[in-house]
Every structure is written in C-alpha cells, then in structure tokens.
Amino acid sequence: MINGALINLFYLASSVLFIVGLKGLSHPRTAVRGNLLGAIGMLLAVIATFLHRDPLGNGPLQAIGLILAAVLVGSVLGALLALRIQMTAMPQMVALLNGFGGGASVLVAGAALLDVRAPSIHFMVATGLSGLIGAVTFWGSLVAFDKLQEFLLPGKPIHFPAQQIVNVAVGLASLAMIYWMVVGDGDTAVLAYWILVFLASIGGILLTIPIGGADMPVAIALLNSYSGLAGAATGFVLDNEVLIITGSLVGASGIILSQIMCKAMNRSLANVLMGNISEASAGPSADDVYAGRVKNASAEDIAMVLDGAQRVVIVPGYGLAVSQAQHAVRDLVNLLESRGTEVDFAIHPVAGRMPGHMNVLLAEADIAYDKLKEMDEINPSLQQADVAIVIGANDVVNPLARTDPTSPIAGMPILDVDKARTVVVIKRSLSPGFAGIPNPLFAADNTLMYFADGKKAIVDLIAAIKAN
C-alpha cells in the first residue's frame, strides 16, 4: 500500500514520463518509444492511485469493483474506437477524445464539489473553471465532430442575429455563477455549478457553430488546448500536481498548434473563431478568370506530360482524403519512380481537416515520410519541378494570395505550384474552395485540368501511363 508522500513521488515519475514521451514526438524515429513512455507513465499513475491506502486501499470493496468496471468499459470502448477508426476520420476521433476529456473534468469537479468540506475561495474558482472549460470543450467538440462528419449540421459557418451579444451574455452569466459558487453555501454552490455547466454547454455550442469546415484544424487544436486547461483546472480542484502538469502540457500543445494553423492561413484566431472569412466581392468573378482559358486534359494527355518528367511534386488536399485516394497515389508514385522520376509531396500546414492530417494519410499508404516536405522546405525548389500534380486542393495553391491584396486570402502563405513547368490539377469541378474565390491557377497557361474524382483519376492515370 502506498501512503500520501509516496504517491506524490509516483505522480512525479508519471509527469516526467509524459514530458519525455512528448519530447520523443520530435522525430518519427523516437516517436513510437515516446508514446509508449507516456503510456507507462499513465499506467504508473493509475496503479499508484489504486494502491493508495487513503482513501482507496481502506475504502469499501464496492468502490474497487466500480473502478475496475468503469476502467474495463472505458478500455474496451477506447480500444474499439482506436482500432476501427479510418485514418481519414482521424479529425473526428480527435474531436471526440477532446470532448471526453472535457466531460471527465466537468464530472470530476462536480463530484469534488459534493465531497468538499469547508471549501476555500480558490477551490470554488477552480471548480467553476473546470466546469466552465470542460463543458465548453465537451459540447464544442461534439459540434466539431458533427460538422466533420457532416451528420446533422452543415460544414458551413452558422450565423444568427446578435450572435456576439448572446455569446457575451452567456459568458457573463457563467462568471456570475462562479461568483455565486464562491459566496453561496454548500447546496447553493452545487446548484450554481450545474447551472454554470448548463450555460457553458450552450456556450460551447455557440462558439463552435460559426466555424467553417476548412477552419476545423484551428477549432480542433483549440479544443485540444481547452481539454488540457480543463484538466489543469481539475488539478487545482483536487490539489493534484500531475493533473496540473499534464493539463498545462496539453494546453500549451493545443495553443501552439492553433497558432501555427492561423499563421498558415494569415488570419487571426479571433477571425477564425467568429467564422468571418471575408466576402469575395472585390475579386474577379469566376467567369472572368476561367472563360475560354481552362484546358481540359484526359488521363492520356497527362500520361504524356509525365513521360520523361525528371521531377514530380504532388500536392495533396482534403479532396484526396474524401475520395480515399492515398493508396492509388502510392501506386502512382511507385510507377513513376520505377521509371526514374523523382517524386516528392508538398504539404501545406492547413491541408486536410486537422494539423498533420495529410501526413498520416500518406504514411498509411506506405509513402516514406522523408518524401513529405513542408511548405517552406519545398517552395524554393518548385520551379525546378517538371510537373506538379494538385489533388483536391484549392485555396492553398491559389496565386491570388500573393498577387491580389484585396483577396480574402491575401497574404496567406501558399504552395507556389504555379512555378512548376506544368501543373496538373485533379478536381471534380471548377467549384471554389472554402474561401469562395476563383483560382487563376486553373486557367494558367501551364495548367492542365483533369476533371474527375481523385481516386478514379489516379487509377485511370496509372492505366494510361502503363499503356503509353
């Protein structure tokens, strides 16, 4: 059995393992080991808590049984989810996990409030913050999940009149509830807490519905951060340092990722959160850009262009994930390489629906990770590419970001595929991307448009190359 002083040493060991584990994620070579170290840290913390003499070891047998049952149920559900999820649906999975983390914080803080005797002010404030952030995370994540799955809500931003005023009112009412928890007595505090959780739930929904589909990477990263902060707040409630440390690590991680995503879109976090992608009224219309200039190419035409190409760069976008084209793309890469062509991938930071989404999809298809190049790394060498193949990407290769200061995507860093000798764009239609603006790349002199579903296009292209 473990006493109070000893358990803190176990928690310290867990915290160290978490930090070392996250450090392992700085390179694919050490990442698997890092993840395992994190898992060992978790196991250590759980076992130590389980053996803790006070209150668990001497506690009722019934509690031990309940804990084991709950752990078993959670483990089975978690394992099923982890083993069955498709890599294309990883954003949904991470959204759900964020939500569960937030939900757990709400419940643990709520339970602590029932058990507490003579609470201090900072206990009440921490409990209130746990409930507030946790409930926002839970409901926000469910909305994000729903939008990604396109289940009930559309992926598009949802706006209604006086949205900001309602948000501010809900926020102020939530703060009032925390104040009520601090000044009220025991029963009042419990009531105030659950009203707070209810208000925060509405807040979580309201904060996430205006965020559009292509902005989901930011939303998920931010919710990731919230789930960490909710955990840290719960750590303050329980006066438990391993919770505080872990929560702040996760909180920092989410904040960094949302910053990276915002920078990659040249938009402020506030702008993304309000779903304010500016209207495309100023720019040229689709007809002006495309009329008479778009060159339609067949698989055979493109096979001819690829014949003798020294260097090919493939730009994957969300369309690749939607059409599950990653395995077909791998076959194309192998075929091209067998003919002596050098093939690389150019990955934009916001390609896909979550940070790093494209890398996971391509790794799943057995494409070596040293072929996956970041934007800053590959941009200077794109002019030496013979062919750039864009699969289901749009705004992240739109040259208007460089040339038109009035464009809604002005200043957004893009992949300079227009500088390649020939550009092949595989896309179902000329429909605009999330920014809602036409893309002059599609009408450029060196661009061939190949209108088809991503996967079918690649399969046909492979057949055409082999027949050539």
- Binders of another protein among 119-178, rule CB under 8 A? 120, 122
Asked whether position 71 contacts another protein by CB under 8 A, the answer is yes
Q: Token pair 């752990």 is at which residue?
A: 71
User: What whole-number distance in Å separates Cα of residue 141 and Cα of residue 24?
Assistant: 27
The answer for residues whose C-beta is within 8 angstroms of residue 425's C-beta and 6 or more apart is 390, 441, 442, 447, 448, 449, 450
Of 297 and 351, nearer to another protein (C-beta) is: 351
Span 230-249, contacts to another protein by CB under 8 A: 231-232, 234-249
Stretch that binds another protein, among 157-165, 312-320, 362-370, 440-448 (CB under 8 A): 362-370
| Collapsed DSSP state (helix, strand, coil) of residue 159 | coil
Asked whether position 257 contacts another protein by CB under 8 A, the answer is yes
Structure tokens at 232: 């840290």
Torsion of CA 167, 173, 176, 177, to 10 degrees: -110
Asked whether position 343 contacts another protein by CB under 8 A, the answer is no
Asked whether position 79 contacts another protein by CB under 8 A, the answer is yes
Structure tokens at 50: 């389980």
Asked whether position 263 contacts another protein by CB under 8 A, the answer is no
Asked whether position 323 contacts another protein by CB under 8 A, the answer is no
Of 243 and 424, nearer to another protein (C-beta) is: 243
Asked whether position 339 contacts another protein by CB under 8 A, the answer is no
Smallest separation (angstroms) from another protein to the CB of 460: 27
The answer for residues whose C-beta is within 8 angstroms of residue 236's C-beta and 6 or more apart is 122, 123, 126, 129, 130, 244
Smallest separation (angstroms) from another protein to the CB of 406: 30
Q: Which of 349, 392, 413, 454 binds another protein (CB under 8 A)?
A: 349
H-helix or E-strand containing 103? helix 90-115
CB 190 within 8 A of CB 114: yes
Of 58 and 429, nearer to another protein (C-beta) is: 58
Smallest separation (angstroms) from another protein to the CB of 305: 25
The answer for residues whose C-beta is within 8 angstroms of residue 40's C-beta and 6 or more apart is 17
Stretch that binds another protein, among 50-58, 155-163, 314-322, 434-442 (CB under 8 A): 50-58
Most distant CA atoms of the chain, gap in Å: 82
Options 215, 344, 395, 460, the catalytic residue: 395
Span 377-416, contacts to another protein by CB under 8 A: none
Smallest separation (angstroms) from another protein to the CB of 24: 9
| Collapsed DSSP state (helix, strand, coil) of residue 7 | helix
* 395 in active site: yes
Stretch that binds another protein, among 113-121, 172-180, 199-207, 412-420 (CB under 8 A): 113-121
The alpha helices in 116-154, defined as continuous H runs, are 121-149
CB 414 within 8 A of CB 396: yes
Asked whether position 182 contacts another protein by CB under 8 A, the answer is no
- Catalytic residue set: 395
